[in-house]
């Protein structure tokens, strides 16, 4: 686990992960990779501590099929591929789902200085894993025994439940002016082409 110092006390955070992968290759023509990852982080409340993130990658080496033999003099390698997968993000501070109270706040009561308590941070107990989902579809071709290579790929990457600090008014009285919440989403998509 990681550790940091808060208010003179050492605070520990931990990450526990399980990971499983299956690879399958049939005759160097059909390729499959399947993965499942399960992560647990102390940075989230017990109800949202765990996240499961699967992925699957498929490949078809068309150039290794019998029907492709006649084209081998021109196209020496032709592969189609696709992948889909998810990853989680827990890169926030430790224990941000727990409110903190400072018990040593001085204030005026009836003209006298007294000590009281104040909640010094506003938090969301519902924060959970930020998830990035990626889809890629592509083709790889080699011409004239590798003299010319061409790659084309479509990608779509979407992040949901983005972990961000959301500003709150100072009148709330919190020292932490931006509690972390799952807010918004982000998407990147497009095409990549490469010729070598």
Contact 127, 93 (CB under 8 A): no
Query: pLDDT at position 84, please?
Result: 98
- Give residue 48's pLDDT: 92
Count CA atoms closer than 13 A to 57's CA, side-chain side.
15
Residue 13 has pLDDT above 90, yes or no: no
Q: Tokens 């998407």, residue?
A: 187
pLDDT for residue 171: 74
Cβ contact 19:87 at 8 Å: no
DSSP line for the chain: -EEEEETTEEEEE-EEEEEEEEEEEETTTEEEEEEEEEEEETTS-GGG-EEEEEEEEEEEEGGGSGGGGGGTTTEEEEEEEEEEEEEEE--S-TTTTS--EEEEEEEEETTEEEEEEEE-B---TT---EEEEEEEEEEEEEETTTTEEEEEEEEEEEEES-EEE----GGG--SB-S-EEE--EEEEEEEEEEE-
Q: Are 91 and 127 in contact (CB under 8 A)?
A: no
CB 99 within 8 A of CB 82: no
Q: In angstroms, rounded to a whole number, what is the distance separating the alpha carbons of residues 157 and 25?
A: 27
**Average pLDDT of span 156-170:** 89
Supply the pLDDT for residue 93.
83
Mean residue pLDDT across the chain: 88
The residue among 96 and 37 whose pLDDT is bigger is 37
The answer to which of 11-20, 81-90, 130-139, 184-193 has the lowest mean pLDDT is: 11-20
* Whole-number Cα distances in Å, 157 to 35, 83, 85, 154, 187: 18, 11, 10, 10, 6
List pLDDT tens digits, range 28-82: 999 999 999 999 999 998 899 999 999 999 999 999 999 988 888 899 999 999 9
pLDDT at 6: 44
What are the tens digits of pLDDT across the range 113-143? 998 887 777 788 889 999 999 999 999 999 9
Confidence of residue 12 (pLDDT cuts 50, 70, 90): low
């Amino acid at each position: 686990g990681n550790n940091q110092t808060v208010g003179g006390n050492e605070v520990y955070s931990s990450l526990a992960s399980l990971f499983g992968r299956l690879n399958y290759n049939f005759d160097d023509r059909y390729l499959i990779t399947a993965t499942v990852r399960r992560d647990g982080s102390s940075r989230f409340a017990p109800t949202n501590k765990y996240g499961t993130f699967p992925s699957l990658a498929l490949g078809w080496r068309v150039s290794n099929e019998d029907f492709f033999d006649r084209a081998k003099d021109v196209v020496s390698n032709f592969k189609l591929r696709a992948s889909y997968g998810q990853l989680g993000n827990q890169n926030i501070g430790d224990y941000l789902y727990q409110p903190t109270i400072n018990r040593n706040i001085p204030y005026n009561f009836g003209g006298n200085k007294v000590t009281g308590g104040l909640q010094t941070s506003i938090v969301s107990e519902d924060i959970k894993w930020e998830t990035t989902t990626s889809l890629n579809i592509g083709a790889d071709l080699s011409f004239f025994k590798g003299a010319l290579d061409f790659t084309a790929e479509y990608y779509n990457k979407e992040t949901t439940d983005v972990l961000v600090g959301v500003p709150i008014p100072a009148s709330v009285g919190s020292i932490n002016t931006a509690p972390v919440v799952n807010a918004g989403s982000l998407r990147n998509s497009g095409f990549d082409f490469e010729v070598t």
